[in-house]
Structure 1
């Protein structure tokens, strides 16, 4: 992915190394975090429950950051994240202008271990996430190491896809889609609510593709092999793939993010066409 030398965003908080953010009790390795991430982010299980079980019940609490955030570091990985964020800002600002609207960019928070958010305590085991209550995107960059080591996805463009997916949730918040979904889910059965969650996540995948389409047209960011890397990431984090890996069988009614095939299809659709209106997963008869 071609990104070096492009604009970097200032909408970044770096909470790493701020005196908190670790798990109390026994130290927790990346493998444990990986399993907890699968259980939490994709299967709806509290990550602390999984971590406590795997560490012999010695995980007592999550420490929160105690000191103010500092300026973002200048290492390559941090500069990459700031550059991708800036690219999403430029792309979505232009798309909103075309619809006579104004894009309000979110803040991206870098943290390690755990951090306080308006949606509760953010945890590394939950993977990257967007909090609509404070309009911030939270990322522990160890997730990218997890992608490389556990999911065998070693691609900067795949990492950008992860960020762009969470930005897609911010777009849903700005357009009121997330609030409509929450209200509808409150009147539904769990299976129906899960289906609506899948449609929400697949739309965010499609929005990630829309970003990539326009960013590549404007700045030529995609190199050979990049798209394949992003599709491998989408495949690896499909609900069916994760359920097979964690429990040996698939339960479609419990899906909350979509199958591997669905996630790759909707990302590819956004990438190919670059049109927001083509990402209306809520009206699609077949996902």
Structure 2
């Protein structure tokens, strides 16, 4: 499994997110509390949006705590929308093309979880990817296949519907192969303006997912980050694990729900896979 965070709001230095919080992603890479693996050292990735609508990313196959270049870059890199991910492989190789986040056009995608029996169903899933999109598939992970299935099934027009169709299709294919409970996921996807975050499992408890709803509480939790005093009320964080311990600062996303970070009131909505 993996750990990740998505940030949307007042432009902030990447270093303020990755290194300063008490239970930052750097700490989680060695001391994760809520996932099945304490250590998440199979590569990492940072994605961000700047002046152009197309996002950029920086990835590495070493453990994130060992990357000196990231530490240097993050002290100068500032963005209003940041994805960060640390990987614990579920079986596919440790290589840059398998590190999250994944990108296509203006879209960023990252995932914690797995498609059970992926090697068994990989051929059927890959063959369902739109032929025009297939050349952009670079790696071998279940996450990237999941992303391109969602793109094929309408992600760019309606992100929740695209993800629901992709999950429904994956479950259908897996069950034809005798895999009854194929999906465990927390997913974040963005077009550079909005962020959608999903939590779902075919059976049992899905991977953990939390969101911050109150900037005032976030400021109280992280007095070590002076910039938080300047954050807008629209600023939000979605995380696999809370970045600190203050009660009430973080809210769990319910199972089979997704949230949208957008101007105005944020909403949680029910997530139901579509089988068409």
| Greater helix share, structure number | 1
| Greater strand share, structure number | 2
TM-score when normalising by structure 2: 0.31
